[in-house]
Amino acid sequence: MNYFSSNFKLGILGGGQLGKMLLYNTRKFDIYTCVLEASEAAPCRIACDEFHLGDLLDYDAVYNFGKHVDVLTIEIENVNIEALADLEKEGVKVYPSSKTLRTIQNKAKQKLFYVDHNLPTAPFSRFAYLSEIKEAINHGGLKLPFVWKVAQFGYDGQGVKIVKSIEDLEGLPKGECIAEELVPFKNELAVIVARSAAGEVKSYPVVEMEFHPEANQVEYVICPARIPEAVAKKAQEVALKTSEAYNHVGLLAVEMFQTQNDEILINEVAPRPHNSGHQTIEASYTSQFEQHIRAILGLPLGKTDSKVGGVMVNLVGAEGYTGDVVYENIAEIMKMAGVTPHIYGKKQTRPFRKMGHVTIVNEDLNEARKIAEQVKGLIKVIST
C-alpha cells in the first residue's frame, strides 16, 4: 500500500490535542487525513485535509465517516462501537479494533479482563447501581475507604473519587460503577507499548507520574522513572503481557501502581497516544504520535529509546478563570534551555481543562525536574 502522497485516506475519530499531535506526523509523511469531531472549534481543524462535524457516539456519523477512509483510528475511546464493528465487517481496517475498545471503554469490563487474563490489578467490586454500594457498606460487605470509578466514559480525573465516608457518595452518577481497594502506592508509573498491524512490538521506557492532589490529573511526567532497575523491568513485563492479552494494534498506555513492597498493579489502560508519552516528542528517537501512525499502517516501528531525560508539565486552566484563554509568561519560560511549550489551540479555558503542555529536556533528570517546577510556577493559563 502506498500511503505517501497518494489517494490513501486515514480517518481519525476525535479532533482534540492528541489528534492534532498525530497530524504533525501525517503532515510530515504527506498522508491524507480526515477527522470526525463534534466541535467546530477542535484543535485538529487547522491541520487535517478533511474536517467532518459529527457526534462520535452517533452510529450514523461514525459509520458514514468510516465508509470513505481506508484505515480508521481514534484519539479518544468514547466512540460508537457498533459502527466500528460494522465497518470492520465491510473491510475497513479499524485500529484499535471494536473488540479491544468494547472492553476498554467500560472500567468494570476492563478490570474483569485483567482477572480473566491473570494480570495483576487491585481488588474491586462491580455494582450495577450506586445505591448497591451504600447497601454493601451498611451490611459490612464493603470497607471504607475505597476508590469509586464510574464504569463508562470517565476520563482525565472525571468519574473517579476516593470515598472515605458514605457522605462522599452524594451527588455521584447513579449508574454502573466499581469500588476498588485503595492501594497505598509509592509511585504511579506508565509504559506505552506499540504493536503494529504486522505484529511487531516495542515499548517505551517506564515513566513516573506525579498527580495534582485535587484535580486527580497528571501534573508532571518524568522519563525515565526514578525507580530501581528491577521494578522497571517488572513494570515493562506487566505492560507487555497486558498488550499481548489485548492483542491491540496501535499504542497501548498501561498505567500502573508500584506498591509499598514493589509489586506492580495495573490501574487502567488507554488504547491511543497518551498524556504519559508527550515528552517523547522532544526526548525520544520516535515520538509516540509517529509510532502510532507507523503501527496502524503496519510500517516498521521506530526506536523507542530516549535521547535525553525528559519531564512534561501539563498546562491546565487556572482555578477561578473561565472564558477566552490568555497564556502568561510563555516568553519567560522560552528563555530557559531545553524548554518547549505546546499550545493545543483550545480558545476557551476553564479550571483544570488541559490547554497545553511543556517539555523540559536535560542530561540531568533532577535538573529537568527543578526547571519543571519553575515552569509550573511561572506560566499561568487564565482568561481575559
| 8 Å CB contact between 254 and 120 | no
**pLDDT at residue 85, rounded to an integer:** 98
Q: Is the pLDDT of residue 288 over 70?
A: yes
Q: Is 176 annotated as a binding residue?
A: no
Tell me the average pLDDT of the chain.
95
pLDDT at 271 > cutoff 80: yes
Number of CB atoms found within 10 A of residue 68's CB: 12
CA 172 to chain centre: 23
pTM for the complete prediction? 0.96
Q: Please, which pLDDT band fits residue 218 given cuts at 50, 70 and 90? A: confident
Would you say residue 157 has pLDDT above 70?
no
Q: Is 229 annotated as a binding residue?
A: no
pLDDT (tens digit, 9 = 90+) per residue, 40-91?
Answer: 999 999 999 999 999 999 999 999 999 999 999 999 999 999 999 999 999 9
Q: Is 182 annotated as a binding residue?
A: yes
Judge whether 268 is annotated as a binding position.
Answer: yes
Tell me which H or E stretch contains 83. Answer: helix 81-89
Given a contact cutoff of 8 angstroms between Cβ atoms, the answer to whether 264 and 258 are in contact is yes
10 Å CB burial of residue 139 (0-12, 13-18, 19+) is exposed
The count of other CB atoms within 10 Å of the CB of residue 218 is 26
Question: In this model, does residue 156 exceed pLDDT 70?
Answer: no
Measured distance CA(120)–CA(112) in Å, rounded: 11
Alpha helix positions (H), the chain: 17-29, 59-67, 81-89, 98-105, 107-116, 130-138, 229-246, 280-283, 288-296, 330-334, 365-378
Let me know the angle formed at the C-alpha of 346 by 40 and 276, rounded to the nearest 5 degrees. 115
Residue 214 is labelled as binding a ligand:
no
Burial class (CB in 10 A: 0-12, 13-18, 19+), 167: exposed
Mean pLDDT of 288-307: 98
Quick one: pLDDT at residue 211?
Answer: 85
Look at 166 and 208; give whichever has higher pLDDT: 208
The pLDDT confidence band at residue 155, using thresholds 50, 70 and 90, is low
Condensed to tens digits (0 to 9), the pLDDT of residues 115-136 reads 999 999 999 999 999 999 989 9
Tell whether residue 328 is among the known ligand binding residues.
no
Residue 102 confidence (pLDDT) above 80: yes
180 is in an annotated binding site: yes
What's the pLDDT score for residue 233? 98
Could you give the domains of the chain? Answer: 9-94 (3.40.50.20), 123-181 (3.30.1490.20), 185-383 (3.30.470.20)
